[in-house]
A = this chain, B = another copy of it.
Protein backbone atom coordinates (compact mmCIF):
# COMPACT_ATOMS: atom_id res chain seq x y z
CA UNK A 1 0.00 0.00 0.00
CA UNK A 2 1.17 3.57 -0.53
CA UNK A 3 2.84 5.33 2.32
CA UNK A 4 -0.08 7.58 3.27
CA UNK A 5 -1.56 4.60 5.08
CA UNK A 6 1.53 3.97 7.18
CA UNK A 7 -0.06 5.41 10.28
CA UNK A 8 -0.99 2.31 12.20
CA UNK A 9 -3.68 3.77 14.40
CA UNK A 10 -6.65 6.03 13.89
CA UNK A 11 -6.72 8.68 16.55
CA UNK A 12 -10.16 9.83 15.38
CA UNK A 13 -11.65 6.45 16.25
CA UNK A 14 -10.53 6.88 19.86
CA UNK A 15 -11.96 10.34 20.41
CA UNK A 16 -15.02 10.77 22.60
CA UNK A 17 -18.26 11.42 20.63
CA UNK A 18 -16.87 9.71 17.51
CA UNK A 19 -18.63 6.38 18.07
CA UNK A 20 -21.26 6.88 15.39
CA UNK A 21 -22.62 3.49 14.33
CA UNK A 22 -25.77 4.25 12.35
CA UNK A 23 -26.47 3.83 8.68
CA UNK A 24 -27.58 7.42 8.19
CA UNK A 25 -29.90 6.51 5.29
CA UNK A 26 -29.20 9.85 3.66
CA UNK A 27 -30.55 8.66 0.31
CA UNK A 28 -33.98 8.18 1.96
CA UNK A 29 -34.22 11.50 3.77
CA UNK A 30 -36.50 13.08 1.17
CA UNK A 31 -38.94 10.16 1.35
CA UNK A 32 -41.55 11.44 3.80
CA UNK A 33 -43.53 8.20 3.71
CA UNK A 34 -40.41 6.25 4.70
CA UNK A 35 -39.89 8.70 7.57
CA UNK A 36 -43.50 8.32 8.75
CA UNK A 37 -43.34 4.53 8.58
CA UNK A 38 -40.08 4.37 10.54
CA UNK A 39 -41.40 6.79 13.14
CA UNK A 40 -44.55 4.69 13.56
CA UNK A 41 -42.61 1.43 13.90
CA UNK A 42 -42.73 0.12 17.48
CA UNK A 43 -39.04 -0.87 17.41
CA UNK A 44 -37.93 2.71 16.69
CA UNK A 45 -36.31 4.73 19.44
CA UNK A 46 -35.86 8.44 20.03
CA UNK A 47 -33.35 10.38 22.12
CA UNK A 48 -34.74 13.55 23.65
CA UNK A 49 -33.02 16.87 24.17
CA UNK A 50 -34.40 19.14 26.84
CA UNK A 51 -32.82 22.48 26.03
CA UNK A 52 -29.33 21.21 25.18
CA UNK A 53 -29.21 18.21 27.50
CA UNK A 54 -30.25 14.62 26.82
CA UNK A 55 -33.04 13.14 28.92
CA UNK A 56 -32.55 9.90 30.82
CA UNK A 57 -35.21 7.54 32.07
CA UNK A 58 -34.62 5.67 35.29
CA UNK A 59 -35.38 2.03 34.68
CA UNK A 60 -34.81 0.24 37.95
CA UNK A 61 -31.14 0.79 38.76
CA UNK A 62 -30.27 1.75 35.19
CA UNK A 63 -30.46 4.95 33.23
CA UNK A 64 -31.66 4.75 29.64
CA UNK A 65 -31.38 7.44 26.98
CA UNK A 66 -33.56 5.65 24.39
CA UNK A 67 -37.33 6.08 24.45
CA UNK A 68 -40.15 4.61 22.42
CA UNK A 69 -42.19 7.31 20.69
CA UNK A 70 -45.17 6.37 22.86
CA UNK A 71 -43.19 6.98 26.03
CA UNK A 72 -41.52 10.12 24.64
CA UNK A 73 -44.85 11.68 23.66
CA UNK A 74 -46.25 11.01 27.11
CA UNK A 75 -43.83 13.67 28.39
CA UNK A 76 -45.10 16.35 26.01
CA UNK A 77 -45.11 17.36 22.34
CA UNK A 78 -41.95 16.53 20.38
CA UNK A 79 -40.31 19.27 18.30
CA UNK A 80 -37.83 18.93 15.43
CA UNK A 81 -38.04 15.16 15.01
CA UNK A 82 -34.92 14.07 13.10
CA UNK A 83 -34.14 10.66 11.61
CA UNK A 84 -30.59 9.93 12.77
CA UNK A 85 -30.26 6.57 11.05
CA UNK A 86 -30.72 2.84 11.45
CA UNK A 87 -28.81 -0.05 12.94
CA UNK A 88 -29.81 -3.69 12.94
CA UNK A 89 -33.38 -3.00 11.77
CA UNK A 90 -33.96 -0.38 14.46
CA UNK A 91 -34.36 3.27 13.49
CA UNK A 92 -33.10 6.03 15.78
CA UNK A 93 -34.50 9.53 15.97
CA UNK A 94 -33.79 12.69 17.93
CA UNK A 95 -36.23 15.35 19.06
CA UNK A 96 -36.46 18.38 21.27
CA UNK A 97 -38.91 18.41 24.15
CA UNK A 98 -39.84 21.00 26.70
CA UNK A 99 -40.01 19.26 30.03
CA UNK A 100 -39.96 19.98 33.68
CA UNK A 101 -37.50 17.14 34.16
CA UNK A 102 -34.94 17.46 36.91
CA UNK A 103 -31.85 19.10 35.47
CA UNK A 104 -28.29 18.29 36.34
CA UNK A 105 -25.73 20.74 35.11
CA UNK A 106 -22.03 20.30 35.44
CA UNK A 107 -20.16 23.31 36.70
CA UNK A 108 -17.78 24.67 34.06
CA UNK A 109 -14.34 23.12 34.16
CA UNK A 110 -14.83 19.99 36.17
CA UNK A 111 -17.13 17.40 37.61
CA UNK A 112 -15.67 16.98 41.04
CA UNK A 113 -18.50 16.49 43.45
CA UNK A 114 -21.03 16.10 40.65
CA UNK A 115 -23.57 13.34 40.99
CA UNK A 116 -26.79 13.26 38.98
CA UNK A 117 -29.65 13.29 41.42
CA UNK A 118 -32.24 10.56 41.02
CA UNK A 119 -35.41 12.07 39.66
CA UNK A 120 -38.72 11.93 41.41
CA UNK A 121 -40.43 11.86 37.99
CA UNK A 122 -38.34 9.01 36.66
CA UNK A 123 -36.72 11.26 34.06
CA UNK A 124 -33.82 13.66 34.33
CA UNK A 125 -31.63 15.69 32.02
CA UNK A 126 -27.85 15.50 32.28
CA UNK A 127 -25.62 17.79 30.22
CA UNK A 128 -23.64 15.93 27.57
CA UNK A 129 -20.17 16.72 28.98
CA UNK A 130 -21.19 15.07 32.24
CA UNK A 131 -22.68 12.11 30.38
CA UNK A 132 -19.29 11.60 28.73
CA UNK A 133 -17.15 12.25 31.80
CA UNK A 134 -19.21 9.97 34.02
CA UNK A 135 -19.51 7.25 31.39
CA UNK A 136 -23.30 7.16 31.67
CA UNK A 137 -23.67 5.59 28.22
CA UNK A 138 -21.42 3.46 26.00
CA UNK A 139 -19.33 5.11 23.29
CA UNK A 140 -21.71 4.31 20.43
CA UNK A 141 -24.64 5.91 22.22
CA UNK A 142 -22.39 8.87 23.02
CA UNK A 143 -21.73 9.30 19.29
CA UNK A 144 -25.45 9.18 18.62
CA UNK A 145 -26.12 11.77 21.34
CA UNK A 146 -23.45 14.05 19.84
CA UNK A 147 -25.15 13.82 16.45
CA UNK A 148 -28.53 14.45 18.07
CA UNK A 149 -27.39 17.40 20.18
CA UNK A 150 -25.80 19.31 17.29
CA UNK A 151 -28.81 18.75 15.03
CA UNK A 152 -31.41 19.69 17.64
CA UNK A 153 -29.43 22.80 18.55
CA UNK A 154 -29.24 23.77 14.89
CA UNK A 155 -32.99 23.42 14.45
CA UNK A 156 -33.75 25.47 17.55
CA UNK A 157 -31.49 28.31 16.40
CA UNK A 158 -32.70 28.30 12.80
CA UNK A 159 -36.45 28.80 13.10
CA UNK A 160 -36.08 31.76 10.71
CA UNK A 161 -34.47 32.31 7.35
CA UNK A 162 -31.13 34.17 7.53
CA UNK A 163 -31.71 35.29 3.95
CA UNK A 164 -35.16 36.94 4.30
CA UNK A 165 -36.31 36.66 7.92
CA UNK A 166 -39.30 34.44 7.10
CA UNK A 167 -40.14 31.34 9.14
CA UNK A 168 -38.44 28.08 8.15
CA UNK A 169 -39.77 24.55 8.43
CA UNK A 170 -37.99 21.23 8.90
CA UNK A 171 -37.71 19.02 5.81
CA UNK A 172 -35.73 16.00 4.56
CA UNK A 173 -36.33 13.98 7.74
CA UNK A 174 -34.87 16.83 9.78
CA UNK A 175 -31.72 17.35 7.64
CA UNK A 176 -32.83 20.58 5.97
CA UNK A 177 -34.89 23.65 6.78
CA UNK A 178 -36.82 25.40 4.05
CA UNK A 179 -38.05 28.96 3.76
CA UNK A 180 -41.47 29.23 2.13
CA UNK A 181 -41.02 33.00 1.62
CA UNK A 182 -37.81 33.13 -0.45
CA UNK A 183 -37.23 29.44 -1.18
CA UNK A 184 -33.81 29.32 0.54
CA UNK A 185 -32.65 25.90 1.72
CA UNK A 186 -30.65 25.68 4.94
CA UNK A 187 -28.44 22.79 5.98
CA UNK A 188 -27.00 21.76 9.36
CA UNK A 189 -23.94 23.73 10.31
CA UNK A 190 -20.63 22.18 11.35
CA UNK A 191 -17.82 24.55 12.40
CA UNK A 192 -14.26 23.36 11.75
CA UNK A 193 -11.91 24.20 14.64
CA UNK A 194 -8.16 23.61 14.64
CA UNK A 195 -6.65 22.39 17.92
CA UNK A 196 -2.92 21.91 18.06
CA UNK A 197 -0.04 20.83 20.22
CA UNK A 198 2.90 23.01 19.23
CA UNK A 199 6.28 21.48 19.98
CA UNK A 200 9.97 22.16 19.54
CA UNK A 201 10.68 18.49 20.13
CA UNK A 202 11.57 18.84 23.82
CA UNK A 203 8.65 20.90 25.06
CA UNK A 204 5.09 21.64 24.08
CA UNK A 205 3.21 24.92 24.16
CA UNK A 206 -0.03 25.02 26.15
CA UNK A 207 -2.30 27.84 27.21
CA UNK A 208 -5.10 28.47 29.64
CA UNK A 209 -8.22 30.55 29.25
CA UNK A 210 -9.59 32.42 32.24
CA UNK A 211 -12.72 30.23 32.16
CA UNK A 212 -10.71 27.01 32.61
CA UNK A 213 -10.69 25.16 35.93
CA UNK A 214 -7.84 26.31 38.22
CA UNK A 215 -4.44 25.02 37.11
CA UNK A 216 -5.70 23.59 33.79
CA UNK A 217 -3.59 24.09 30.66
CA UNK A 218 -4.62 22.78 27.25
CA UNK A 219 -3.85 22.86 23.54
CA UNK A 220 -4.52 26.11 21.71
CA UNK A 221 -7.55 26.15 19.43
CA UNK A 222 -9.57 28.37 17.14
CA UNK A 223 -12.12 28.41 14.34
CA UNK A 224 -10.93 27.92 10.77
CA UNK A 225 -11.74 31.12 8.86
CA UNK A 226 -12.80 31.63 5.24
CA UNK A 227 -9.79 31.40 2.92
CA UNK A 228 -7.71 29.19 5.21
CA UNK A 229 -6.35 25.68 5.00
CA UNK A 230 -6.12 23.65 8.21
CA UNK A 231 -2.38 24.26 8.28
CA UNK A 232 -2.65 28.03 7.81
CA UNK A 233 -5.35 28.25 10.47
CA UNK A 234 -2.99 26.47 12.90
CA UNK A 235 -0.20 28.92 12.09
CA UNK A 236 -2.43 31.97 12.50
CA UNK A 237 -3.95 30.87 15.80
CA UNK A 238 -0.62 29.98 17.40
CA UNK A 239 0.93 33.21 16.19
CA UNK A 240 -2.00 35.32 17.36
CA UNK A 241 -2.30 33.78 20.79
CA UNK A 242 1.37 33.28 21.70
CA UNK A 243 3.57 34.95 19.08
CA UNK A 244 5.17 31.58 18.27
CA UNK A 245 5.89 30.96 14.58
CA UNK A 246 4.85 27.55 13.28
CA UNK A 247 6.46 25.62 10.43
CA UNK A 248 5.24 22.18 9.57
CA UNK A 249 1.78 21.02 10.64
CA UNK A 250 0.54 17.43 10.79
CA UNK A 251 -3.12 16.45 11.11
CA UNK A 252 -3.49 13.56 13.55
CA UNK A 253 -7.23 13.11 13.99
CA UNK A 254 -10.60 14.73 14.37
CA UNK A 255 -13.48 14.73 16.81
CA UNK A 256 -17.11 15.78 16.62
CA UNK A 257 -17.55 18.30 19.44
CA UNK A 258 -21.24 18.97 20.02
CA UNK A 259 -20.83 22.22 22.00
CA UNK A 260 -22.72 23.17 19.97
CA UNK A 261 -21.60 21.93 16.54
CA UNK A 262 -17.83 21.89 16.02
CA UNK A 263 -15.50 19.52 14.20
CA UNK A 264 -12.20 19.51 16.09
CA UNK A 265 -9.21 19.09 13.76
CA UNK A 266 -6.37 17.84 15.94
CA UNK A 267 -2.85 18.72 14.77
CA UNK A 268 0.77 18.62 15.82
CA UNK A 269 2.64 21.83 14.97
CA UNK A 270 6.37 22.47 14.72
CA UNK A 271 7.57 25.59 16.56
CA UNK A 272 10.09 27.82 14.79
CA UNK A 273 10.53 30.23 17.70
CA UNK A 274 10.62 30.05 21.50
CA UNK A 275 9.66 33.38 23.02
CA UNK A 276 6.01 33.48 24.13
CA UNK A 277 3.93 36.68 23.96
CA UNK A 278 0.56 35.91 25.50
CA UNK A 279 -2.49 37.53 23.90
CA UNK A 280 -4.26 38.47 27.15
CA UNK A 281 -7.57 39.00 25.37
CA UNK A 282 -7.65 35.29 24.50
CA UNK A 283 -5.51 33.61 27.14
CA UNK A 284 -4.75 34.03 30.80
CA UNK A 285 -1.40 32.33 30.34
CA UNK A 286 0.65 30.27 27.89
CA UNK A 287 4.05 28.64 28.27
CA UNK A 288 6.26 25.68 27.40
CA UNK A 289 5.95 22.35 29.23
CA UNK A 290 8.48 19.51 29.25
CA UNK A 291 7.41 15.89 28.88
CA UNK A 292 8.19 15.31 32.55
CA UNK A 293 6.01 18.23 33.59
CA UNK A 294 3.14 17.16 31.36
CA UNK A 295 3.37 13.59 32.70
CA UNK A 296 3.05 14.98 36.22
CA UNK A 297 0.02 17.00 35.14
CA UNK A 298 -1.68 13.88 33.76
CA UNK A 299 -0.79 11.98 36.94
CA UNK A 300 -2.07 14.91 39.03
CA UNK A 301 1.26 15.09 40.83
CA UNK A 302 2.42 18.45 39.47
CA UNK A 303 3.99 20.45 42.35
CA UNK A 304 1.96 23.56 41.43
CA UNK A 305 -1.24 21.60 41.02
CA UNK A 306 -1.31 22.12 37.25
CA UNK A 307 -3.54 19.81 35.23
CA UNK A 308 -3.93 18.57 31.66
CA UNK A 309 -7.24 18.09 29.83
CA UNK A 310 -9.33 15.04 30.62
CA UNK A 311 -9.84 12.17 28.25
CA UNK A 312 -13.04 13.41 26.60
CA UNK A 313 -11.05 16.19 24.88
CA UNK A 314 -9.01 15.52 21.74
CA UNK A 315 -6.32 17.68 23.37
CA UNK A 316 -5.80 14.81 25.81
CA UNK A 317 -5.28 12.37 22.92
CA UNK A 318 -2.89 14.70 21.11
CA UNK A 319 -0.82 15.25 24.24
CA UNK A 320 -0.68 11.50 24.92
CA UNK A 321 0.63 10.95 21.38
CA UNK A 322 3.30 13.58 21.95
CA UNK A 323 4.27 12.11 25.34
CA UNK A 324 4.63 8.66 23.80
CA UNK A 325 6.33 9.85 20.59
Per-position binary interface string of chain A over residues 166-194, scored 1 when its CB falls under 8 Å from any chain B CB and 0 otherwise:
11100000000000000010111111100
The reply on A147 being an interface residue by CB < 8 A is yes
Q: Are A163 and B154 in contact (CB under 8 A)?
A: no
The answer to whether residues A261 and B150 also contact, given A160-B165, A165-B160, A236-B24 and a CB cut-off of 8 A, is no
Say how far A188's CB is from chain B's closest CB, in angstroms.
Answer: 6
Tell me the dominant secondary structure on chain A's binding face. Answer: mixed
Cα–Cα, bound, A7→B231 (Å)? 13
Say how far A198's CB is from chain B's closest CB, in angstroms.
Answer: 12
Q: Are B226 and A190 in contact (CB under 8 A)?
A: yes
The reply on A116 being an interface residue by CB < 8 A is no
The reply on A71 being an interface residue by CB < 8 A is no
The answer to whether residues A165 and B163 also contact, given A18-B229, A226-B261 and a CB cut-off of 8 A, is no
The reply on A108 being an interface residue by CB < 8 A is no
Q: Are A229 and B256 in contact (CB under 8 A)?
A: yes
Q: What residues on B are CB-neighbors of A78 within 8 Å?
A: none
Say how far A12's CB is from chain B's closest CB, in angstroms.
Answer: 4
Q: Are B162 and A227 in contact (CB under 8 A)?
A: no
Cα–Cα, bound, A24→B254 (Å)? 25
Q: What residues on B are CB-neighbors of A7 within 8 Å?
A: 248, 250
The reply on A263 being an interface residue by CB < 8 A is yes
Which bucket holds chain A's interface residue count?
Answer: 35 or more
Say how far A219's CB is from chain B's closest CB, in angstroms.
Answer: 14
Per-position binary interface string of chain A over residues 142-168, scored 1 when its CB falls under 8 Å from any chain B CB and 0 otherwise:
011011101100100111111111111
Q: Are B158 and A227 in contact (CB under 8 A)?
A: no
Q: Are A230 and B254 in contact (CB under 8 A)?
A: yes
The answer to whether residues A4 and B225 also contact, given A157-B163, A240-B26, A240-B27 and a CB cut-off of 8 A, is no
Per-position binary interface string of chain A over residues 212-249, scored 1 when its CB falls under 8 Å from any chain B CB and 0 otherwise:
00000000000111111111100010001000000011
Q: Are B189 and A248 in contact (CB under 8 A)?
A: no
- The residue among A162, A192, A199, A249 with the most chain B CB atoms within 10 A of its own CB is A162
Q: Are B4 and A226 in contact (CB under 8 A)?
A: no
Cα–Cα, bound, A253→B164 (Å)? 36
Per-position binary interface string of chain A over residues 41-52, scored 1 when its CB falls under 8 Å from any chain B CB and 0 otherwise:
000000000000
Q: Which residue of B5, B165, B258 is within 8 Å of A227 (Cβ)? A: B258
Q: Are B2 and A201 in contact (CB under 8 A)?
A: yes
- The residue among A1, A20, A148, A225 with the most chain B CB atoms within 10 A of its own CB is A225
Q: Are B5 and A268 in contact (CB under 8 A)?
A: yes
The answer to whether residues A263 and B192 also contact, given A157-B162, A229-B255, A231-B13 and a CB cut-off of 8 A, is yes
Cα–Cα, bound, A223→B26 (Å)? 12
Cα–Cα, bound, A3→B3 (Å)? 13
Q: What residues on B are CB-neighbors of A249 within 8 Å?
A: 10
Closest Cβ neighbor of A146 among chain B residues:
B227
Q: Are A150 and B256 in contact (CB under 8 A)?
A: no
Q: Are B160 and A227 in contact (CB under 8 A)?
A: no
Closest Cβ neighbor of A157 among chain B residues:
B163
Q: Which residue of B146, B161, B325 is within 8 Å of A162 (Cβ)? A: B161
